[in-house]
Structure formats: C-alpha cells, structure tokens
Amino acid sequence: MQRDEPRIPALMDLILRGLRIGASTIAIVELLRSDWVGGGLASLAWLTFVVVERRRTDRNPAER
C-alpha cells in the first residue's frame, strides 16, 4: 500500500504562480485608477501566464 504524499511544486510552478498573482493584482489596481492602457497590458500579461500554466499542466498529466 502506497502513501499518497503531496507533490512539492517545482520552482517554475511557484514562479509562474507568483507572476500570475502579481499581474492580476497590478491589472486590478491600474483599472481602479482608470489607467486603461496599463490595466489592459497587465490583463494581457495575466492571460498569458494563465495559458502558459495550463499548457504546462496539460503536458504533464502524470505529475499532478
């Protein structure tokens, strides 16, 4: 009988998660300040990080 141990996230996963959270926070702050260009660019960065993170997890389904 094997024990299911939680997987320790790789460094790249932590970096991507941090970038995603940072980009979403910056997007919200910029949009609340009515800086539409900065908010739009930060939203685009957030979307890019989300797509990259999903593609990484779809590529390695055995590591989940």
For residue range 6-40, what is the model confidence (pLDDT) as tens digits?
566 788 888 999 999 999 999 999 999 999 999 99
Burial (CB count within 10 angstroms: exposed 0-12, middle 13-18, buried 19+), residue 1: exposed
Q: What is the pLDDT of residue 60?
A: 60
More confident residue, 7 or 57: 57
Q: What is the pLDDT of residue 62?
A: 57
Position 39, amino acid: G
